[in-house]
Amino acid sequence: MVRRVARLGGNVPSSGGDWSEALTLDGGRLAVAVGDLVGGGDSSATAITMLRGALVSALLAGDDVSTVLRRLDALAGRIPEAVGSTVAVAIFDPANQELRCASAGHPWPIFVPRSGPAVFLAGSLGMPLARAGEPAAPQTVPLAAGDALVLYTDGVLSGRGRSPEEADAVFLEAAAEVRNGQFSCAELSERLLAVMLPGGAPVQDDAVLLVVRAGSVEIPPFRLDVVARPEQLSTVRRALSEWMTGANIGAEDAMAVQLAVGEAMANSVEHAYRDQAPGQAVVTAALRDSGQLHVEVADHGRWQETDLVASAHRGRGLHLVRASMGDVRLDRGPGGTTVRMTYQLTSEAPAGKPVAAASWAGTDVLEVEVLTDEKPVRVRMTGELDAANAEEVRDRVQQISRGGSVPLRLDLLGVEYLDSFAVRALFELAMAARASGERLTVTVPARSPIERVLLASGLNQLATIDPA
């Protein structure tokens, strides 16, 4: 969602040469433009109408900002009143997290990121319309929720008799107040006009101000119905990963949520439909305005009381869920069992580069590499360590360690996901090493969800957890 407000200032007739346009495009995009036509009067108003019509037509046809300006340049060459006019065009694309802007002789807009200093968009200005010279070179900047763009005409800078340099500095400082979403677009426009044109001071030219801020893209809730079978666990992980990518959820948060949801699903698979045909499991997720993610995993089976009690190293499912999520509730009734989880998001994907997908390979394959030239021998794992492969990995590592008698370092830096079956396998490897007088070392990403899960499971009592 993009909020916008346009404001005309000054005390000149409305038939002047400054103009603005805002147009919604497909894919949730928004195009905005500000122009300055040399001269005024009825003929200028006609020229502006023609330029705006060509602008809208080009944008609706899917043209990029540089192509839009080329079309306007060609049209201006046929309209005497439009020769020498300036225009800046920008397209907000929240879905792809980018802003593209190009200018034909018009002052560059001010870009104000949610966190960071306000800056004039840098780049060479193209020549005014219908003037010979280099075409406008488009600029592309990353775009995140809360970022803002301030477009204007030079009439905004003409108050109080400031020099162009002084006016630019004052304008830039005033625009910086949008940082951290402190003001709405309407409030910011009022503040900018109050600073640049105080008390309705007369100006020598039209003054047009357009303020645009990128809001949060509305993310529909996630829902997936699957049969509670082991082979469906990876299906849930991939679908949830795609949804979190679209929600711009950062890598660490995405991994924490995947660990918790995967474990809750594994519990449904293992416990909900014991001694009967597998039934349905439903996974839902929704973002809240408070920055919290609410997730539920529901089934229609009945868990046994013994299923809810973690032993020394078997399962520990709910412990892993609670280690990953902030608030966890288990609701059981005649109709089934629902695990309700709430997670406070702590990070966003870098603008322009969603990382939930990059942090998730979406593969069921686990690669194992044994580095025998290192002491202790290092077993490096990459991929997903879960119910599908945990026992096989355990048996292979047992062979490498000769039943725990050879010192080992398990390198989990490349592991993107693990569940309680994987934790159980690690416990068994650690116990075998201790029985042989050795101590297993497990290397994990520092301060990662995997480190938190292993510490919460108590593995550090049997093995050395080495964050790296």
Residues 193 and 324 in one domain: no
Instruction: Tell me how many degrees the CA angle 420-425-431 measures, rounded to the nearest 5.
Output: 125
Please check whether residue 208 lies inside any domain of the structure. Answer: yes
- Between 223 and 166, the more confident residue is 223
- Between 165 and 238, the more confident residue is 238
Please check whether residue 285 lies inside any domain of the structure. Answer: yes
pLDDT of 234 higher than 80: yes
Q: Tell me the average pLDDT across 293-307.
A: 79
* Residue 72: per-residue pLDDT: 93
Q: What are phi and psi of 395, to 5 degrees?
A: -65, -40
Please check whether residue 352 lies inside any domain of the structure. Answer: no
Residues 295 and 316 in one domain: yes
Please check whether residue 424 lies inside any domain of the structure. Answer: yes
Q: Where are the alpha helices (DSSP H) in 326-419?
A: 390-400
* Residue 467: per-residue pLDDT: 94
Residues 261 and 340 in one domain: yes
pLDDT of 61 higher than 80: yes
Q: Which of 280, 312, 344 is the last residue of a domain?
A: 344
* Residue 378: per-residue pLDDT: 93
* Residue 199: per-residue pLDDT: 63
Residues 70 and 194 in one domain: yes
* Residue 14: per-residue pLDDT: 44
Residue 178: pLDDT band with limits 50, 70, 90: low
pLDDT of 196 higher than 60: yes
Q: Tell me the average pLDDT across 321-338.
A: 84
Residue 307: pLDDT band with limits 50, 70, 90: very low
Q: Are 351 and 250 in contact (CB under 8 A)?
A: no
Residue whose C-alpha is closest to residue 404's, from 371, 372, 437: 437
Q: What is the pLDDT of residues 204-218, one digit of tens each?
A: 567 788 888 877 656
Q: Which of 316-330, 331-345, 395-409 has the lowest mean pLDDT?
A: 316-330
Structure tokens at 288: 């809240």
pLDDT of 180 higher than 60: no
Q: CATH number of the domain that 108 lies in? A: 3.60.40.10
Please check whether residue 349 lies inside any domain of the structure. Answer: no
- The span from the CA of 452 to the CA of 176, in Å, is 39
Residues 102 and 196 in one domain: yes
Residues 143 and 159 in one domain: yes
Please check whether residue 66 lies inside any domain of the structure. Answer: yes
Residues 199 and 83 in one domain: yes
> What domain range is 240 assigned to?
222-344
Residues 58 and 174 in one domain: yes
Residues 431 and 327 in one domain: no
* Residue 360: per-residue pLDDT: 32
Q: How far is CA 42 from CA 10, 13, 16, in A?
A: 19, 11, 9
Q: How far is CA 171 from CA 81, 157, 189, 253, in A?
A: 30, 8, 11, 38
Please check whether residue 371 lies inside any domain of the structure. Answer: yes
Q: Are 245 and 233 in contact (CB under 8 A)?
A: no
- The span from the CA of 26 to the CA of 31, in Å, is 10
* Residue 204: per-residue pLDDT: 58
Q: What are phi and psi of 128, to 5 degrees?
A: -55, 165
Q: CATH number of the domain that 407 lies in? A: 3.30.750.24
Q: Is the dihedral of CA 337, 329, 222, 266 positive or negative?
A: negative
Structure tokens at 38: 């040399």
The structural domain count of the chain equals 3
2-9/207-214 β-pairing: antiparallel
Residues 172 and 196 in one domain: yes
Residues 252 and 339 in one domain: yes
What DSSP designation does 348 have? B
- Between 193 and 86, the more confident residue is 86
Residues 10 and 117 in one domain: yes
Q: Which of 169, 196, 214 is the last residue of a domain?
A: 214
Q: What is the pLDDT of residues 19-45, one digit of tens each?
A: 888 888 887 788 999 998 876 666 778
Q: Are 236 and 417 in contact (CB under 8 A)?
A: no
Q: What are phi and psi of 42, to 5 degrees?
A: -65, -40
Edge-to-edge strands of the sheet including 119-120? Answer: 2-9, 207-214, 148-152, 110-112, 119-120
Task: Return the H-helix or E-strand segment holding 455.
Answer: helix 449-457
Q: CATH number of the domain that 242 lies in? A: 3.30.565.10
Q: What is the pLDDT of residues 82-123, one digit of tens each?
A: 899 999 999 988 778 899 999 998 988 888 887 778 888 877
Q: Are 413 and 444 in contact (CB under 8 A)?
A: yes
- The span from the CA of 357 to the CA of 293, in Å, is 17
Phi-psi bin for 283: left (phi > 0), alpha (psi -120 to 50), beta?
Answer: beta
* Residue 40: per-residue pLDDT: 60
Residue whose C-alpha is closest to residue 322's, from 272, 260, 250, 387: 260
Summary mean pLDDT of the chain: 80
Q: Which of 32-41, 263-272, 308-317, 424-433 has the lowest mean pLDDT?
A: 308-317
Residue whose C-alpha is closest to residue 15's, from 45, 59, 56: 45
- The span from the CA of 310 to the CA of 267, in Å, is 12
Q: Which of 192, 214, 236 is the last residue of a domain?
A: 214
Residue 440: pLDDT band with limits 50, 70, 90: very high
* Residue 182: per-residue pLDDT: 57
- The span from the CA of 440 to the CA of 460, in Å, is 10
Please check whether residue 122 lies inside any domain of the structure. Answer: yes
Q: Are 233 and 386 in contact (CB under 8 A)?
A: yes
Q: Are 110 and 42 in contact (CB under 8 A)?
A: no
